[in-house]
Chain A
Amino acid sequence: MAADPTRRVIIAAAAVLPLVAVSGCGGVDVLASPPAPARDVGLLRAAIAAEQLMIMRYAAVLGDVQNPGQGAAGGGTSASLTAALEPLLAEHRAHLAQLRSRLNVPAGSTSPSPSPSRRAGSAPPVPTAPTAAIAFLRAAEQAAATAMLDRMRGAAASLAQLFASISASEATHVPVLDDAVRGIAARAGA
């Protein structure tokens, strides 16, 4: 069965295309142009790896926030930061699930993406001080949104729409993180 996994993945990605036209905007007839499945698979794998990295970063920051070691958050800061970060982490998980669904690897395969970051499974280094950690996530979100837009430029129609939407979602995370920093500052000043 595992004769040619790459080919199976490519075929699955192409077959998914008609299901993802955005409603009512005339996108459907546009999709008639032939996609470039091989390139899309590469872009999808890169997007999946990027989301996995963001998830690990959020998980690492949340771990530090909830188990403060040296110089980390106090109780009130910890609770409010957790409340601010968890919805953003949940959205990255939704991005990852949707991206993986587009790859549509054969059932029974436990690792749809052979990304080294996933295999390692270890937390990436993140700053421990809350303000620095949030600034780190903010920069990471901006970079992720930009990279997703770059992928959009080379993708076939339906995947381009998904990349654009995810990039926009990541851009909206930036003001949320700015608010979180202001919350920390306000609490410190109080």
Chain B
Amino acid sequence: MSKLEEPREASGGHRVSSRAPRAAAPGTIHALQAALAAEHAAVYGYGVVGAYLTGSSRAAATADWVAHQEARDELEAVLRSSGSQPGPAAVAYRLPIPVRTPGEAVSLAVILEDRIATAYLGLVALTTPAVRELGALQVRASALRAAFWRGSTVAFPGLTAAALAIPQRPAPDREASASP
């Protein structure tokens, strides 16, 4: 069980400060709402994940379900303190993959965490220090949970293939024409 506990310990807990800008920019609100939407989906999804698991796996799913509820609550608090109404959860969500087996439940947990990490990287792109910090801590917490469910690590949690594409160098003639 110790393996299950470490991600929680290493995640830095959920005591991220709820301090936020008084009048947040539209981009900040948009990114916070996107992260909240991902947390709503994760809370729903982990309910499904846990239903297909037993024993220590189920306990891990329950712990992660609670972690996502806490993260959701924190985002709602940040949005309210910024003067915005937090977006509501949907009544139900269409799962990204069919889940009928424990293996598929674990795959769903990995997908949920990858989406969460991407959403929180949207907060890291913001300039408000407290919001960026919250994003970074949650990217790490999500990466730790994803690594547990995946059984292996990845080099760039939350970053999409498009974001990692090596940028093309300008065409040689253009570069030449720009040179003195």
Which residues does A use to contact B, with CB under 8 Å?
1, 15-16, 19-27, 29-31, 33, 87-88, 90-91, 94-95, 98, 101, 104, 107, 145, 149, 152-153, 157-158, 160-162, 164-169, 171-176, 178-179
Contact = CB atoms under 8 A, between A and B. Distances in A.
B23 interface: no
A26 B31 contact: yes
Contact of B34 (A19, A24, A29, A87): A24
Interface of B: 3, 6-7, 10, 26-28, 30-31, 34-35, 117-119, 121-122, 124-127, 129, 132-133, 135-136, 139-140, 142-144, 146-148, 152-160, 162-167, 169, 179
A180 B118 CA distance: 29
A22 B136 contact: no
Contact of B155 (A16, A91, A157): A91
Given A26-B34, A30-B31, A175 B160 contact: no
Contacts, number: 156
Given A98-B164, A157-B126, A165 B121 contact: yes
Contacts of B6: 174-175, 178
A20 B163 contact: yes
Nearest to B136: A164
Given A31-B125, A152-B124, A175 B27 contact: no
B159 A161 contact: yes
Contacts of B122: 22, 25-27
Name A's interface SS. Answer: helix
Nearest to A3: B180
A20 B124 CA distance: 13
A169 B132 contact: no
Contacts of B127: 30, 33, 157
Given A19-B165, A152-B132, A175-B6, A91 B153 contact: yes
A2 B165 CA distance: 27
Contact of B159 (A22, A26, A88, A167): A22
A149 B179 CA distance: 37
Nearest to B161: A23
B132 A160 contact: yes
B118 A25 contact: yes
A166 B153 contact: no
A30 B153 contact: no
Contacts of A166: 155-156
Given A21-B163, A30-B126, A165 B152 contact: no
A167 B140 contact: yes
B10 A169 contact: no
A162 B127 CA distance: 15
Contact of B135 (A20, A29, A164): A164
A164 B156 CA distance: 9
Contacts of B31: 25-27, 30
Contacts of A175: 3, 6-7, 10, 144, 147-148
